[in-house]
């Protein structure tokens, strides 16, 4: 928003007028002395006496007293009377004051009229304020070229605020007015050199980002310091970032923390947020979640949306505060209300996963849609996933495709990958392997591990492309370097004895361990079996990891369940065996339950019986017959 110039209090008006001999001037001098002494009511009476004798400066000062309620009750109508008396005499200051009153009360047409009268006499604040009205289209049609002319006239007379307004106009590129970053930087520099704190901060930002001027962090720091000394909290924050990142200065976390704290205490919530990030990540000292949460809370209370988001995440995860998902929801919503798109995405995932709250896919979808409205690509993708996979809503491939397309256009790699899946499988769209490959490659270029793994599979199997194990190896290697357990497991298989690139058992084992450590359930199961053969006690923990894995496929769960059962049988651990059977009743097919019964029935028949009964209850015929046989005994 362009800034208006406002004449200060009546004390400064009094000081601005020279005192000559004569009754009105003496009264005005007396009024000035009374105002300096803090006797506002007596000062107003002295101004009134001078004004009633026709003193123009006293009339203006008296008008401001009535307008702002200094020494008298605020009364715009009385203020208007005194301003009008001065304006009718042709006083530029009186015309400006009357224009200011109309500007303040929203009577912009009249404000334009009196500002223009004052501006025609070269009154600097009137030039600036008339420019603002013309720029905004207040009180009449917008006229950007005329606003620029007026601002320039004020700049030529030394006005720093008009320079700032011109800079912002060039910086933003108003409608019909092309953005010009070099011109913006030029006028920011003028405003900065004339000691306007906003201009100093803005020119420092231009230097910091190389926007319209050559990037120069040292110069940016100089202007940020001036603005910070004038009390601009944004400049304090900017200085903290420079010290944190070592730009234009030696990296100095202590100085960064000092500036972040000063920014926060000056009212800039992002200062406390930046402190919280340092505390949470342990950037310069041991991580301190409690201090991080405390700083996020202070930033959030000052209205910083990112602080609200991070505080919500702390409440959700129990980092530095007691886990409280209800509070997390509250802070996510507050951050979302402040247009923080990531907050809606995080809240949507909370409802989608049912993590600490009741699972509610419809609520999740609403959150993702709101995040999408704010431009969050990942929210678009999740909205598509819910429709595509019928998560709590009726399956709608068309909506899924449309949301994925929006996410892809916004650059989300997962959306691009999901479009590839739809084209490969012919879901909603006609099957098109060439388009699927194009989407996979596009997603892979964005380092999407799912796309890299899918490309690896296609190259390995020759599906839609000529078989090329070397390209498959390259895709899996890149995905594994990004932390993909699936890719690491494929590399284990490729490098194993029967793989296309047999590289010896040591390398294969390293890939297997890496895949298992990345929580790939197939790798965990295979590593557990190898450790079991080696009689390693670690085997049980690997099987347990598969059993506790939320996304493990049913065959893997069954296999891990039976492996654990065998281990408990061998160790004679009836307590663990009983818990396993109790959990398995709701998690594995009846065939696996029957196998569990057979594992334990000879040595521990009572422990085995619940597994048999659970399998029989699900109509598994061998279990039904066995249960009938036992009942007849």
Q: Which two tokens stand for residue 99?
A: 């224009």
Residue at 571 is within a domain? yes
Structure tokens at 268: 């800039």
Distance from C-alpha of 51 to C-alpha of 447, rounded to nearest angstrom: 76
| Domain around 606 | 553-632
Report whether 159 contacts 5 (CB < 8 A): yes
Read off the tokens for 32.
């000035």
Neighbours of 609 (CB within 10 A): 16
What residues have CB less than 8 Å from 426, skipping those under 6 apart?
Answer: 432
Tokens of 356: 């600490």
Indicate the Cα dihedral angle 436, 439, 444, 447, nearest 10°.
Answer: -140
Beta-carbon contacts of residue 320 (< 8 Å; ≥ 6 apart)? 280, 288, 289, 290, 291, 292, 293, 294, 314
Q: What region does 174 belong to: left with phi over 0, alpha with psi -120 to 50, or beta?
A: beta
Torsion of CA 152, 135, 163, 107, to 10 degrees: 100
Q: Tokens 């339950």 appear where?
A: 593
Please give the C-alpha separations between residue 347 and each of 302, 312, 327, 343, 385, in angstroms, as whole numbers. Answer: 22, 9, 12, 6, 16
d(CA 233, CA 225): 11
What Å distances lie between residue 459 and 469, 470, 479, 480, 492, CA to CA?
6, 8, 14, 16, 17
With H, G, I as helix, E, B as strand and everything else as coil, classify residue 382: helix
Distance from C-alpha of 580 to C-alpha of 373, rounded to nearest angstrom: 46
Structural contact between residues 65 and 10, judged by C-beta atoms closer than 8 angstroms: yes
Residues 439 and 417 sit within 8 Å (Cβ to Cβ):
yes
Which residues touch 18 (CB under 8 Å, ≥6 apart)? none
* Cα separation, 537 vs 548, whole angstroms: 18
The number of distinct structural domains making up the chain is 1
8 A C-beta contact, residue 14 and residue 31: yes
Distance in Å from the first CA to the final CA of the chain: 90
**Residue 580 belongs to a domain:** yes
Say if 159 falls within a structural domain: no
Q: Residue 241: inside a domain, yes or no?
A: no
Q: Residues 130, 163: contact at Cβ < 8 Å?
A: no
Residue 393, domain member (yes or no): no
Q: Give the C-alpha separation, 465 to 348, whole Å.
A: 38
Q: Is residue 590 domain-resident?
A: yes
| Residue 392 belongs to some domain of the structure | no
Tokens for 225, please give them: 């310091």
Cα torsion at 161, 162, 167, 173 (round to 10°)? 130
For 216, other C-beta atoms within 10 Å of its C-beta total 15
- CA 99 from chain centre, in angstroms, equals 42
Kindly list the distances between the CA atom of residue 414 and the CA atoms of 421, 439, 522, in Å, as whole numbers in the listed order: 11, 10, 23
- Distance, CA of 338 to CA of 294 (rounded, Å): 20
pLDDT of residue 45: 83
d(CA 5, CA 160): 10
Residue 96 lies in a domain: no
Three-state secondary structure call for residue 107: coil
Q: What is the pLDDT of residue 22?
A: 40
pLDDT averages per 10-residue partition of the chain, 633 residues: 56 38 57 67 81 88 88 92 94 95 95 96 95 94 93 95 94 81 96 96 97 96 97 97 96 98 98 98 96 98 97 97 96 96 96 92 96 96 96 94 97 97 95 96 97 96 90 95 95 76 80 95 95 94 94 93 92 90 92 92 89 93 92 82
Q: Are 276 and 292 in contact (CB under 8 A)?
A: yes
Alpha helices in 390-538 (DSSP H): 397-409, 413-425, 433-445, 449-461, 469-481, 485-495, 505-517, 521-533
Give φ, ψ of 41 to 5 degrees: -65, -45
Separation CA 407–CA 387 (nearest Å): 14
CB 503 within 8 A of CB 538: no
Residue in the block written with tokens 């101004």: 47
The predicted pLDDT at position 30 comes to 67
- Residue where the block lists tokens 């004339």: 194
pLDDT at residue 42 in the model: 81
**Rounded CA gap, 304 and 335, in Å?**
8
Q: What is the DSSP letter of 520?
A: -
CB 484 within 8 A of CB 449: yes
**Which H/E stretch holds residue 198?**
helix 197-209
Distance, in Å, from the CA atom of 80 to the CA atom of 60, rounded to the nearest integer, reads: 10
């Amino acid at each position: 928003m362009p800034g208006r110039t406002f004449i200060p209090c009546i004390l400064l008006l009094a000081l601005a007028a020279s005192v000559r001999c004569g009754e009105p001037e003496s009264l005005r001098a007396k009024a000035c002395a009374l105002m300096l002494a803090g006797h506002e009511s007596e000062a107003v009476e002295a101004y009134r006496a001078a004004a009633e004798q026709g003193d123009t400066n006293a009339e203006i000062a008296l008008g401001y007293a009535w307008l702002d309620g200094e020494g008298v009750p605020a009364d715009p109508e009385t203020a208007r009377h005194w301003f009008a008396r001065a304006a009718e005499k042709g006083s530029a200051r009186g015309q400006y004051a009357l224009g200011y009153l109309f500007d303040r009360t929203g009577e912009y047409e009249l404000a334009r009229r009196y500002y223009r009268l004052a501006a025609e006499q070269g009154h600097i604040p009137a030039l600036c304020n008339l420019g603002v009205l013309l720029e905004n289209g207040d009180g009449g049609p917008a006229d950007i070229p005329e606003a620029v002319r007026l601002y320039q006239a004020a700049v030529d007379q030394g006005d720093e605020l008009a320079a700032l307004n011109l800079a912002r106009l060039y910086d933003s590129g108003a409608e019909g007015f092309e953005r010009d970053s070099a011109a913006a930087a030029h006028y920011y520099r003028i405003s900065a050199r004339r000691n306007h704190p906003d201009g100093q901060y803005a020119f420092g930002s231009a230097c910091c980002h190389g926007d319209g001027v050559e990037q120069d962090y040292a110069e940016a720091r100089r202007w940020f310091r001036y603005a910070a000394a004038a009390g601009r909290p944004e400049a304090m924050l900017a200085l903290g970032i420079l010290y944190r990142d070592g730009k234009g200065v030696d990296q100095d976390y202590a100085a960064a923390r000092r500036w972040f704290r000063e920014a926060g205490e000056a009212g800039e919530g992002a200062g406390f947020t930046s402190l919280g990030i340092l505390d949470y990540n342990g950037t310069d000292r041991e991580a301190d979640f409690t201090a991080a949460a405390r700083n996020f809370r202070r930033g959030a209370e000052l209205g910083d949306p990112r602080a609200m988001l991070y505080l919500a995440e702390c409440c959700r995860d129990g980092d530095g505060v007691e886990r409280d998902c209800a509070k997390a929801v509250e802070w996510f919503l507050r951050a979302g209300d402040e247009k923080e798109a990531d907050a809606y995405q995080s809240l949507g995932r909370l409802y989608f996963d049912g993590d600490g709250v009741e699972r509610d896919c419809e609520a999740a979808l609403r959150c993702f849609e709101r995040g999408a409205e704010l431009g969050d690509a990942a929210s678009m993708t999740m909205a598509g996933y819910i429709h595509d996979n019928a998560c709590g809503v009726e399956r709608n491939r068309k909506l899924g495709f449309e949301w994925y397309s929006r996410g892809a256009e916004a650059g989300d790699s997962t959306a691009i990958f999901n479009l590839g899946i739809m084209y490969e499988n012919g879901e909603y769209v006609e099957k098109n392997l060439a388009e699927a490959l194009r989407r996979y490659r596009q997603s892979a270029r964005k380092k999407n591990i799912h796309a890299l793994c899918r490309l690896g599979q296609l190259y390995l199997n020759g599906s839609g492309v000529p078989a090329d194990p070397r390209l498959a190896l390259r895709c899996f290697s890149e995905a594994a370097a990004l932390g993909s357990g699936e890719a690491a497991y494929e590399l284990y298989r490729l490098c194993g004895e029967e793989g296309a690139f047999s590289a010896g058992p040591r390398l294969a084992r390293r890939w297997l361990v890496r895949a298992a450590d990345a929580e790939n359930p197939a790798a965990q199961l295979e590593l557990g079996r190898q450790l079991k053969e080696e009689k390693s006690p670690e085997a049980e923990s690997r099987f347990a990891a598969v059993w506790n894995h939320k996304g493990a496929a049913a065959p893997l769960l069954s296999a891990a369940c039976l492996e654990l059962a065998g281990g408990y049988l061998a160790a004679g651990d009836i307590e663990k065996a009983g818990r396993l059977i109790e959990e398995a009743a709701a998690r594995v097919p009846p065939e696996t339950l029957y196998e569990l019964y057979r594992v334990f029935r000879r040595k521990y028949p009572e422990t085995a019986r619940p597994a048999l009964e659970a399998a029989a209850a699900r109509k598994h015929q061998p279990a039904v017959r066995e249960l009938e046989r036992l009942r007849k005994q």
